[in-house]
């Protein structure tokens, strides 16, 4: 057999050739394969031909037409996707993203990441992802509803509580999940609560699901710092994004006594010297569905809006990239390091470019990759599935306690796995190897399928 590194390099070249023009997917695969060489060297049972080839090829890829009419009666045609990537550990599980940049490569990158993230939760969920190039921004509720109904009219054939369980992601929140669930129920004539997660708490949703990703990301950062004998309390934090993940990252930072001073959207960022006013941010983003430039206009002299600026230029000791992929590059990393950042916890999926990750690691910054740091969201989705299966609803306190326990376990697993493979403090290696081992064991046990 070739040495593991050479074998992984040639596999990578094959994958890039067979999946042209999918740069985000290539990046996600490369980041995982780069860290797997030690596990192949130490455990020859994983070096069997075909395992990584199967792991990097989705079990099923569904692409469909989504026609809908806007409020003026004009017909629009979007493209819908669901990539059912790996079901060795449980039903496919992962969100739906509605954003103009969505294409098959983006959905595959997200679905691939989701396999490892879901494995790390220790719960029984496989990996999948979906979405559409539909842009919800500026659309009325009625337009969003018609789009969701059309999307589900095709998607319903492919999902189910034991098959594939979508949830939210960028552009898909409680409103969209409601419309999607309604159409699923209408078409199938089944009250199948476990087919979607992120539902409203009055009709099958779990307490703490909206908060879970952001809360989890802060808990993960706190665990990383604790291992170094440090605390989040009293530290300033820079947060990007202003969606669900960013908002609840800010909420949790405030609760642990840290000082989140920023949030951002595609137009720029807000920096607030007094710390972000959570109620004002929620009012603008969740109630009015507005832009964050409004925040600075209404907050008073402590806040300013920097149009077109990069949020990472704001000095802080902790950074929480919580917007989207590749939003923090090598230059941003150099700026953050120069300004004394101690920890980076990825609330978004793959927000940090590979070069930036390397710079953080070389500088000794505690870096939590999204697969581990933002797994709290999908973990509480799995708890929502458990509650649905038992036809019960847990208290917010119980869910929050479970979430904290899961994040502690994920941290310990990544930390200990990195140490076991001779890469202490490298959570990227720890997360990739620990996730890989769990999925690979299940795949090998279940035969060549
Ligand atoms: N979209 C979220 C993620 O990236 C949540 C997925 C889910 O809850 O199924 O993990």
Please indicate whether residue 327 or residue 7 has the higher confidence score (pLDDT): 327
* Ligand 1, pocket residues at CB < 6 Å: 93-95, 167, 169, 197, 349, 377-378, 381
- 160 phi-psi bin (left φ>0, alpha ψ -120 to 50, beta other): left
- What pLDDT digit, counting tens, does each position of 135-159 carry? 999 999 999 999 999 999 999 999 9
Q: What is the CATH architecture assignment of 212-368?
A: 3-Layer(aba) Sandwich (3.40)
Nearest-atom index, ligand 1, CA of 94: 9
- What pLDDT digit, counting tens, does each position of 309-333 carry? 999 999 999 999 999 999 999 999 9
For residue 449, give both structure tokens.
Answer: 């399928």
Nearest-atom index, ligand 1, CA of 168: 1
pTM for the model: 0.98
- What pLDDT digit, counting tens, does each position of 86-123 carry? 999 999 999 999 999 999 999 999 999 999 999 999 99
Catalytic-residue membership of 231: no
DSSP string computed for 259-325: EE-EEEETTEEEEETT---HHHHHIIIIIS---THHHHHHH-TTEEEEET--GGGS--SEEE--S-T
- What pLDDT digit, counting tens, does each position of 259-268 carry? 999 999 999 9
The mean pLDDT of the chain is 97
* CA–centroid distance for 423 within its chain: 24
Strands 127-132 and 75-86: antiparallel
Compute the distance between CA of residue 176 and CA of residue 144 in angstroms, rounded to an integer.
7
Which residue blocks in 23-140 are alpha helix, DSSP H? 23-42, 51-55, 104-120
Counting ligand 1 atoms within 8 A of each CB, the residue from 369, 381, 399 with the most, and so the one to mutate, is: 381
Residue 77 has pLDDT above 70, yes or no: yes
Residue 342: helix, strand or coil by DSSP? coil
For residue 240, give both structure tokens.
Answer: 């990007």
Within the chain, which residue ranges are assigned CATH 3.40.50.720? 212-368
Strands 127-132 and 164-167: unpaired
pLDDT at 3: 83
Which residue has the CA at smallest separation from atom 10 of ligand 1? 378
Which residue has the CA at smallest separation from atom 9 of ligand 1? 94
- What pLDDT digit, counting tens, does each position of 191-211 carry? 999 999 999 999 999 999 999
Classified by CATH at the fold level, domain 60-191 comes out as Rossmann fold (3.40.50)
Give the angle 130-134-140 at the CA atoms, nearest 5°.
125
DSSP string computed for 189-213: ----GGG-SS--GGGTPPTTHHHHH
- What pLDDT digit, counting tens, does each position of 346-392 carry? 999 999 999 999 999 999 999 999 999 999 999 999 999 999 999 99
* CA–centroid distance for 348 within its chain: 5
Counting ligand 1 atoms within 8 A of each CB, the residue from 119, 213, 383, 431 with the most, and so the one to mutate, is: 213
Within the chain, which residue ranges are assigned CATH 3.40.50.10860? 60-191
Catalytic residue among 93, 108, 129, 285: 129
């Amino acid at each position: 057999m070739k040495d593991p590194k050479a074998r992984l390099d040639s596999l990578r070249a094959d994958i890039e050739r067979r999946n042209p023009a999918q740069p985000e997917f290539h990046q996600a695969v490369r980041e995982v394969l780069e860290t797997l060489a030690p596990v192949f060297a130490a455990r020859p049972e994983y070096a069997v031909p075909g395992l990584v080839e199967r792991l990097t090829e989705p079990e099923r890829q569904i692409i469909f037409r989504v026609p809908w009419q806007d409020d003026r009666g004009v017909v629009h045609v979007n493209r819908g996707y669901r990539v059912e990537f790996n079901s060795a550990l449980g039903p496919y599980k992962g969100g739906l993203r509605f954003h103009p940049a969505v294409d098959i490569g983006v959905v595959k990158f997200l679905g691939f990441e989701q396999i490892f993230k879901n494995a790390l939760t220790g719960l029984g969920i496989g990996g999948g992802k979906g979405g559409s190039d539909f842009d919800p921004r500026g659309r009325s509720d009625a337009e969003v509803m018609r789009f969701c109904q059309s999307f589900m009219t095709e998607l319903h054939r492919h999902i189910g509580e034991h098959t594939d369980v979508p949830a939210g992601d960028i552009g898909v929140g409680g409103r969209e999940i409601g419309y999607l669930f309604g159409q699923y129920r209408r078409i199938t004539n089944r009250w199948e609560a476990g087919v979607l997660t992120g539902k409203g708490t009055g009709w099958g949703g779990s307490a703490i699901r909206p908060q879970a990703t952001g809360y989890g990301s802060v808990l993960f950062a706190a665990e990383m710092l604790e291992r170094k004998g440090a605390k989040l309390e009293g530290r300033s934090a820079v947060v990007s994004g202003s969606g669900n993940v960013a908002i609840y990252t800010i909420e949790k930072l405030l609760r642990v006594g840290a000082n989140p001073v920023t949030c951002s959207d595609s137009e720029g960022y807000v920096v607030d010297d007094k710390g972000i006013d959570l109620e004002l941010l929620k009012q603008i983003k969740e109630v009015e569905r507005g832009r964050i430039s409004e925040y600075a206009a209404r907050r008073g002299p402590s806040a300013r809006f920097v149009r077109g600026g990069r949020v990472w230029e704001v000095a802080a000791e902790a950074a929480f990239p919580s917007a989207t992929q590749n939003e923090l590059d090598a230059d941003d990393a150099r700026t953050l390091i120069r300004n004394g950042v101690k920890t980076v916890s990825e609330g978004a999926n793959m927000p940090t470019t590979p070069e930036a990750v390397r710079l953080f690691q070389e500088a000794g910054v505690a870096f939590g990759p999204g697969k581990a740091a933002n797994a709290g969201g999908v973990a509480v989705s799995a708890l929502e599935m458990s509650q649905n299966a038992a036809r019960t609803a847990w208290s917010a306190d119980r869910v929050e306690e479970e979430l904290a326990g899961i994040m502690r376990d994920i941290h310990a697993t990544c930390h200990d796995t990195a140490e076991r493979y001779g890469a202490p403090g490298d959570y990227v290696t720890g997360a990739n190897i620990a996730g890989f081992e769990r999925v690979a064991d299940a795949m090998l046990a279940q035969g060549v399928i």
